[in-house]
């Protein structure tokens, strides 16, 4: 057998030597690590890796959170601009005094009527429905004041009537002219406004599937259609008929104001029981036809408070007064003393009373007694069917001419 070649560089002493040691970093611990030290080092490496992953996740979460915040702000601004219509706000000097903000909020609500064939250069029609709402949040009460559309205000308009103030005013938004006049003549602060196109009122009622309302007696229109008395679910067209009809009453426009209380009561009752699906259904119609300077945040805050107000704490009043003639046209003139009493008792809960002599309202005559000037009418009395107003105000001639076979539409 051939011998294996021998390595000329082989030396027997090499058999007793291990592999040459690897160079050691001058910065390392030259001593061999014990098992315990090795486990500690592994734990430290694991902890560091875990901390690194946590930081990475936090960074991703922060980025997502920031993106969501930016998106929410963008959506809020978009919805807020849609809800407010991008309209202007009321002058600050006519609002509630600073000491009472948070306790009371006062809102001017107006229904806008546009006559067919007439031009409206500033986009504002006649404010044929004027409702001043004072929400005493501290006492959890709401007082509502109906101001007749024909209220005589002097030479502020060419007609002398309050319903033309916003139409003929030069302010922006146009409703600010009406809010300013109410502040000056009634001495009432106005914080916000809400206006609705009367022709679109029925669209909003239809959007929520109708509204349940109490009709105090049969109402007959000029065409012989009759809306029968009783509590019933009505559609938008019938709701508009209830709000607009005035020829069925012995005192015309004043009777219409009193009938409108039944609609206000029904709307408030519906709103207080609104499920979220109905809010979503009515929102497109609301955005299209309603203009307001109440932003989404304030609107949400007020809504959560309004739903907690019991119906017996919601009281409706009409400005005391009577119809009279100025030249060739009929107007409504206020009764100063009775008006001052109502305003001081129900609309200035934390402010000093304003005597009748300090109001800038014009009283042309005072010959008839005032309706509900002392106590008003609670929403509870309407809801329960105990409200007193009704049959005594029906015009017999108008009622006799109607037919009970066809519902109003």
Query: What local confidence, expressed as pLDDT, does residue 161 receive?
Result: 94
pLDDT digits (tens, 9 = 90+) for 92-121: 899 999 889 889 999 999 998 877 767 776
Mean pLDDT across 186-197: 93
Mean pLDDT across 121-137: 88
Query: What local confidence, expressed as pLDDT, does residue 307 receive?
Result: 86
Q: How many CB atoms lie within 10 A of CB 120?
A: 13
Helix and strand counts by DSSP (H, E) for the chain: 11, 13
Cβ-Cβ contacts under 8 Å for 76 (sequence gap 6 or more): 296
What are the structure tokens assigned to 99, written together?
């000491």
Q: Which has more confidence, 57 or 130?
A: 130
pLDDT at 138 over 90: yes
* Block residue for tokens 């009371």: 104
Query: What local confidence, expressed as pLDDT, does residue 164 receive?
Result: 92
Q: End-to-end CA distance of the chain, in Å?
A: 124
* Pairwise CA distance, residues 105 & 102, whole Å: 7
pLDDT digits (tens, 9 = 90+) for 332-374: 999 999 999 999 999 999 999 999 999 999 999 999 887 656 6
Sorted by where each begins, the domain ranges of the chain are 53-84, 85-400
pLDDT bin (cut points 50, 70, 90) of residue 277 is: low
* Block residue for tokens 């709103």: 271
* Pairwise CA distance, residues 285 & 66, whole Å: 33
* Block residue for tokens 């001495």: 187
* Pairwise CA distance, residues 187 & 24, whole Å: 94
Query: Please, are residues 130 and 146 in contact by the beta-carbon 8 Å criterion?
Result: yes
pLDDT digits (tens, 9 = 90+) for 236-250: 888 888 888 776 666
What are the structure tokens assigned to 38, written together?
């090795």
How is domain 85-400 classified at the CATH fold level?
Aminopeptidase (3.40.630)
* Pairwise CA distance, residues 108 & 330, whole Å: 25
What are the structure tokens assigned to 395, written together?
């015009």
Average pLDDT of the chain to the nearest whole number? 79
pLDDT at 383 over 70: yes
Query: What local confidence, expressed as pLDDT, does residue 22 receive?
Result: 59
The proportion of the chain whose per-residue pLDDT surpasses 90, expressed as a percent, equals 31
**Beta strands at 104-113 and 192-197: parallel, antiparallel or unpaired:** parallel
- pTM of the shown model: 0.77
CB neighbour class for 218 (10 Å; exposed up to 12, middle 13-18, buried from 19): middle
* Pairwise CA distance, residues 118 & 152, whole Å: 23
Query: What local confidence, expressed as pLDDT, does residue 84 receive?
Result: 58
Query: Please, are residues 330 and 161 in contact by the beta-carbon 8 Å criterion?
Result: no
pLDDT digits (tens, 9 = 90+) for 279-318: 666 666 677 778 888 887 888 888 889 889 998 999 999 9
* Pairwise CA distance, residues 30 & 8, whole Å: 35
Distance of CA 344 to the CA centre of its chain: 26
- Cis peptide before 173, with omega less than 30 degrees from 0? yes
pLDDT digits (tens, 9 = 90+) for 65-91: 666 556 555 444 545 555 555 567 888
Mean pLDDT across 233-262: 81
Query: What local confidence, expressed as pLDDT, does residue 125 receive?
Result: 85
pLDDT digits (tens, 9 = 90+) for 144-182: 999 999 999 998 888 899 999 998 888 888 899 999 999
């Amino acid at each position: 057998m051939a011998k294996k070649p021998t390595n000329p560089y082989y030396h027997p002493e090499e058999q007793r030597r291990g592999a040459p040691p690897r160079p050691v970093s001058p910065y390392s611990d030259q001593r061999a690590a014990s098992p315990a030290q090795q486990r500690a080092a592994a734990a430290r490496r694991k902890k560091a890796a875990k901390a690194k992953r946590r930081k990475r996740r936090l960074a991703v979460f922060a980025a997502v959170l920031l993106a969501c915040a930016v998106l929410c702000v963008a959506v809020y601004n978009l919805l807020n601009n849609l809800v407010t219509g991008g309209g202007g706000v009321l002058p600050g000097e006519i609002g509630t005094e600073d000491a009472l903000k948070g306790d009371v909020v006062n809102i001017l609500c107006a229904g806008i009527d546009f006559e067919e064939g007439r031009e409206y250069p500033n986009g504002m029609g006649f404010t044929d429905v004027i409702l001043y709402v004072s929400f005493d949040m501290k006492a959890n009460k709401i007082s509502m004041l109906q101001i007749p559309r024909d209220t005589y205000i002097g030479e502020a308009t060419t007609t002398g009537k309050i319903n033309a103030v916003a139409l003929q005013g030069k302010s922006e938004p146009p409703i600010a002219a009406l809010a300013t006049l109410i502040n000056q003549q009634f001495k009432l602060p106005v914080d916000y406004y809400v206006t609705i196109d009367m022709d679109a009122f029925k669209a909003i009622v239809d959007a929520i599937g109708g509204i349940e309302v109490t009709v105090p007696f049969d109402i007959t229109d000029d065409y012989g259609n009759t809306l029968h008395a009783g509590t019933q679910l009505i559609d938008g067209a019938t709701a508009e008929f209830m709000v607009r009809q005035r020829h069925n009453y012995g005192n015309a426009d004043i009777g219409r104001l009193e009938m409108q209380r039944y609609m206000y009561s029904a709307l408030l009752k519906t709103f207080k029981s609104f499920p979220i699906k109905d809010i979503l259904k009515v929102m497109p119609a609301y955005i299209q036809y309603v203009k307001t300077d109440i932003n989404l945040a304030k609107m949400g805050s007020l809504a959560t408070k309004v739903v907690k107000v019991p119906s017996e704490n919601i009281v409706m009043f009409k400005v005391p007064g009577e119809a009279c003639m100025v030249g060739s046209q009929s107007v409504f003139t206020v009764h100063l003393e009775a008006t001052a009493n109502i305003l001081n008792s129900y609309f200035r809960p934390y402010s000093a009373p304003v005597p009748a002599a300090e109001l800038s309202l014009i009283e042309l005559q005072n010959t008839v007694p005032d309706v509900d000037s002392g106590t008003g009418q609670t929403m509870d009395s309407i809801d329960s069917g105990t409200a007193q107003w009704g049959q005594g105000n029906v015009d017999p001639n108008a009622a006799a001419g109607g037919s009970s076979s066809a519902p109003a539409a």
